[in-house]
A and B are shown apart, each in its own frame.
Chain A
Amino acid sequence: MMPFTVGGTDKAKDLFGLFDDTIGRLLATVK
């Protein structure tokens, strides 16, 4: 489940967190 927007997940607290969390989740699936 991706955050998609700010506030979408606990880590997506702002725009920086949105991309940090999105990228982190995607990288976790390809490992």
Chain B
Amino acid sequence: MSGWKYRKSSTRALGDLHPGGNPHIHTDPRNIARVALALEERMAQIDPANAESYHSRGKSFLGRWQAAIVRWEQQVAPLKGVPIVVYHKDFSYFINWAGMREAGSLEPKPGLPHPGASRRSTGQNENPARQSHHLFALQQPQAAEFLSTRANIPA
């Protein structure tokens, strides 16, 4: 997978880490194509009576998907190099694919709730919004909206 990162070690003291690496692979469209191809091959293997159907539908999907990737890669050109602050590191594959720069994350540790608006420090990502122009949040929009308002950057 593009950008797959295994961890040599993990501990719950670091938060809710995924020992096998960041699993949010679907945010890179190139990985969707790889998964689709693997699914097509596996389904044909375990259900040979319908193998032709799996291959036909897989080919159709991958054709449309590759065309869409070409279109998306043209569309994301203005995003290249744009710094972005995320809430949780579940968009890293997209950020890598689009050529954006992940300036920091709002979570103090993966999977742990944000300490709230009164928190003055974000640990290793100290004041990430000051160096960033954009931020977005997935699980907890309140944190991003709070920072967006205070730092005057779009959320």
Contacts and interface: CB of A to CB of B under 8 A. Distances in A.
Interface string B12-38: 000000000000001101001000000
Nearest to B82: A30
Interface stretch (B46-54, B68-76, B104-112): B68-76
Interface stretch (B2-10, B121-129, B132-140): B132-140
Contacts, number: 47
Nearest to A29: B154
Contacts of B72: 19, 23
Interface in A1-31: 1-2, 4-5, 15-16, 19, 22-23, 25-27, 29-30
Interface of B: 26-27, 29, 32, 64-65, 68, 72, 75-76, 78-79, 82, 90-91, 94, 98, 133-134, 136-138, 141, 144, 154-155
Interface of A: 1-2, 4-5, 15-16, 19, 22-23, 25-27, 29-30
Q: Which 8 A-B pairs have the closest CB atoms?
A: A29-B154, A4-B138, A29-B134, A1-B141, A23-B75, A2-B136, A19-B72, A2-B138
